[in-house]
Amino acid sequence: MSVPGHNPPFEVGVESARYELRQSGEGLCLAIGGDWTAFGLGNLPTEIMRSLTEGSRPKALDVQSLGHVDSAGALALVEALGSTAPLEASDRQDLRRLADLVGAPSEARQVTEPAASAINTFFARIGRQVERFIGQIWAVMDFQGRLVVALGRHLRNPKRLRLTPLFSVMEQAGINAIPIVMMMCFFIGAIVALVGANLLSTFGVSAFTVELVGVAILREFGAVIAAILFAGRSASAFAAEIGAMRMNQEVDAMKVMGVDEFDALVVPRVLAALLMVPILTFCGDIGGILGGLLVSWATMDISPVFFLERTVDTVSLTHFWIGLVKAPFFALVIAAAGCGKGLAVSGDTESLGKGVTSAVVQSIFLIIMFDAIFAVIFMELDL
Amino acid sequence: MTSDAPDRGSAAPPIRVTGLRTEFGDTLIHDDLNLDVKAGEILGLVGGSGSGKSVLLNTILGLKTPDAGKVELFGHDIQEGGERDEVERRIGVLFQNGALFSALTVQENVEAPFLEHSDLPMELVGKLAALKIKLAGLPEDAGAKKPAELSGGMRKRAGIARAIALDPALLFLDEPTSGLDPIAANEFDELIRTLRDALGLTVFLITHDLDTLHAICDRVAVLAERKVIAVAPVEDLERSEHPWVRDFFQGPRGRAAQRTYN
Ligand SMILES: Nc1ncnc2c1ncn2[C@@H]1O[C@H](COP(=O)(O)OP(=O)(O)O)[C@@H](O)[C@H]1O
Ligand SMILES: [Mg+2]
């Protein structure tokens, strides 16, 4: 029951298409050879069009040495000849059928918009940027409002809290991040100690290295490094997970089941971040002090016992608390950026990629900004 | 006098599956499965849900390695790397959910195979893509839309437009009419037949749609008990004694379809 006519066979090789313009009795004749297929044609169609001057369209077609032909080749022929008539008159059955398929030569389908004046596009661009900016601010406020409402609901009725996702996020985003956070802070502590020892020894007060390390790690680096790593690991993960669920219509399915997406997706992640970032900060503090301790021991012969004693004696506990107080704020910023960007993903993969990127960039930017604001506040408070 | 393209290809069948065994862990999906698809035919593949139709398609496409046996496309073993590229550009696939590139417009989706496999000038590629979009039965303004902006039926048509971009010799369709309304499904059947006749395609079609089987399939292969238990025209299968085949074709829906087409 096979169809009459051609079946494009599996091609062993492709012979490049070629053409020749001949002057014959009735007028110009286009002789073609080789494979007129998407693979054999290459840039030939442009060459033909260039060599044909307007009004000198070939009237006849010679297909003596033509190999295979497909719709790409047929379309190129019809465009060059200006009509399907020569193809329909050909003795090649596949050409006749393709002529039917391709139809009469097409008008230029690409509709180009009239070029707008430079001044116009300039203002249009500014307008679009402003609109986008306002839209973003609106989206952030909308998200924050819903988050506050959802958290309030959970406070009134703690049974709403979904424990399984909470613990799973706490493990993946928190516990699993402890080694990398400690390691990172260890190196930062070591660097601070090295630089400090070098600088302070020129004043003959290298013992102050201990205080330098203690204050720098506890007050700043512990919290900031933990938060930045959390943002890199988990803001991206939150945005990607929730964004993929959006693309897959899972979020819509939840909504029609009467499940609030903030209850199911956002609140567990925000709470997990609120609980885990302080713990990570604490781990970072330990790693940083250890780094400083080791470097001081190796380069300045400050014994570990002396280092720890001096830390306890001279570094006020306030520094530790200041570092820890910042952690929940960072956590909130990171989780909100991740979940918010995830929920904003639309149907396509590009918006998913953009969402994940901007979740990370935005949360790291906000971490540094908040840290600067806190620095000013604590300075004013004389802490 | 009628001549045709010179025959440089082999006379091997478009698809030949021999002794195929597929397993996931301990679950055996296919065991000693054999199937031949003839050039130029529309072959329908039916089987219960979970019987391994999609897995068979993935194996034929080389997306899954068979645990035993061989899959040949046009006489070339797809597991042997050398001619993969040659084979790839002779086949077109419509996956069950369309599998369009969501970041590109429909027009760009259809242009993608040309950009990958040919050096045609951009202008011609644009016109060809527009031609294929029209052939697939989509309105002209659909080309500029993203897949997310299309309805399910239109997405399938866009998927077909991309599948036939390079005039493939072999077209694979996974449940093309599922989820379409009856009118759209009829149009789709019509479209597949038109394309087969116009482009000389061989079509391998997975479907549950009895109307599709009656209307356009030259032969129907039945996948059951981990094998292809029968390959025959629909009318012959309707007389089959095999319990599953009988239930499939002689159930209330099967009878209704039979009445329509006989
Ligand atoms: N990646 C996979 N891992 C394990 N089992 C699978 C996988 N893909 C499919 N299966 C199993 O193979 C069987 C056949 O699946 P499939 O081919 O999708 O069915 P259908 O015939 O409905 O298309 C099913 O039982 C399914 O559970
Ligand atoms: Mg399936």
Residues with CB under 6 A from ligand 1: B 24, 29, 47, 49-55
Model pLDDT, residue B101: 85
Model pLDDT, residue A8: 46
Ligand 1 centre distance from Cα of residue B2 (Å): 47
Asked if the Cβ–Cβ distance from A10 to B146 is below 8 Å, we say no
**Closest C-alpha residue for ligand 1 atom 1:** B24
Model pLDDT, residue A104: 67
Model pLDDT, residue A105: 64
Ligand 2 centre distance from Cα of residue B163 (Å): 18
Q: Cβ contacts (< 8 Å) between B169 and chain A: which residues? A: 7-10
- Distance from the Cα of A232 to chain B's closest Cα (Å) equals 25
What's the rounded mean pLDDT across residues B52-76?
87
**Closest C-alpha residue for ligand 1 atom 20:** B50
Smallest Cβ distance to A9: which of B8, B103, B123?
B8
Q: Which of A6, A10, A44, A93 would you mutate first to test chain B, the one with the most B CBs within 10 A?
A: A10
**Residue-wise pLDDT tens digits, B172-182:** 988 888 877 88
Model pLDDT, residue B84: 66
Domain boundaries, chain A: 18-110, 161-380
* Test site for ligand 1: of B22, B33, B55, B223, most ligand atoms within 8 A of the Cβ: B55
Which of residues 78 through 97 in chain A touch B, CB cutoff 8 A? Answer: 79, 91-94, 97
- Distance from the Cα of B216 to chain A's closest Cα (Å) equals 11
Asked if the Cβ–Cβ distance from B2 to A91 is below 8 Å, we say yes
Q: Cβ contacts (< 8 Å) between B235 and chain A: which residues? A: none
The residues of chain A scoring below 70 in pLDDT are 1-13, 54-55, 104-115
Does the pLDDT value for residue B4 go beyond 60?
no
A263 — contact with chain B (CB < 8 Å)? Answer: no
Asked if the Cβ–Cβ distance from A38 to B41 is below 8 Å, we say no
Q: Cβ contacts (< 8 Å) between B1 and chain A: which residues? A: 91
**In the 3-class helix/strand/coil scheme, how is chain A assigned residue by residue?**
CCCCCCCCCCCCCCCCCEEEEEEECCEEEEEEEEEECCCCCCCHHHHHHHHCCCCCCCCEEEEEEEEEECHHHHHHHHHHHCCCHHHHCCCEHHHHHHHHHHCCCCCCCCCCCCCCCHHHHHHHHHHHHHHHHHHHHHHHHHHHHHHHHHHHHHHHCHHHCCHHHHHHHHHHHHHHHHHHHHHHHHHHHHHHHHHHHHHHHCCCCHHHHHHHHHHHHHHHHHHHHHHHHHHHHHHHHHHHHHHHHHHCCHHHHHHHCCCCHHHHHHHHHHHHHHHHHHHHHHHHHHHHHHHHHHHHHHHHCCCHHHHHHHHHHHCCHHHHHHHHHHHHHHHHHHHHHHHHHHHCCCCCHHHHHHHHHHHHHHHHHHHHHHHHHHHHHHHHCCC
Q: Cβ contacts (< 8 Å) between A346 and chain B: which residues? A: 148
Ligand 2 centre distance from Cα of residue B93 (Å): 14
**Residue B68 to residues B21, B27, B80, Cα–Cα distance (Å):** 5, 14, 14
B225 — contact with chain A (CB < 8 Å)? Answer: no
If one compares A180 and B102, the residue with the highest pLDDT of the two is: A180
Smallest Cβ distance to A92: which of B3, B127, B197?
B3
Given the candidates 3.30.750, 3.40.50, 2.60.40, 3.30.160, the CATH classification of the domain at A18-110 is: 3.30.750
Smallest Cβ distance to A97: which of B1, B73, B198?
B198
Residue A6 to residue B2: CA distance in whole angstroms: 11
* Ligand 1 atom nearest B96 alpha carbon: 23
Model pLDDT, residue A228: 96
Q: Which residue of A has its CA nearest to B131?
A: A102
**Residue-wise pLDDT tens digits, B162-205:** 888 888 888 998 888 887 788 878 888 888 888 788 777 899 99
Model pLDDT, residue A100: 80
* From A71-80, B37-46, B201-210, the region with the lowest mean pLDDT: A71-80
φ and ψ of B93, to 5 deg = -130, 135
Ligand nearest to the CA of B58: 1
**Closest C-alpha residue for ligand 1 atom 18:** B54
φ and ψ of A28, to 5 deg = -70, 135
Ligand 2 centre distance from Cα of residue B251 (Å): 21
Ligand 2 centre distance from Cα of residue B48 (Å): 10
Asked if the Cβ–Cβ distance from B200 to A5 is below 8 Å, we say yes
Q: Which of A3, A15, A49, A249 would you mutate first to test chain B, the one with the most B CBs within 10 A?
A: A3
Asked if the Cβ–Cβ distance from A348 to B202 is below 8 Å, we say no
Percent of chain B scoring above 90 in pLDDT = 8
Smallest Cβ distance to B40: which of A2, A13, A67?
A2
Asked if the Cβ–Cβ distance from A94 to B128 is below 8 Å, we say no
Q: Cβ contacts (< 8 Å) between A8 and chain B: which residues? A: 5, 90, 167-169, 199-200
Q: Which of B1, B2, B4 would you mutate first to test chain A, the one with the most A CBs within 10 A?
A: B4
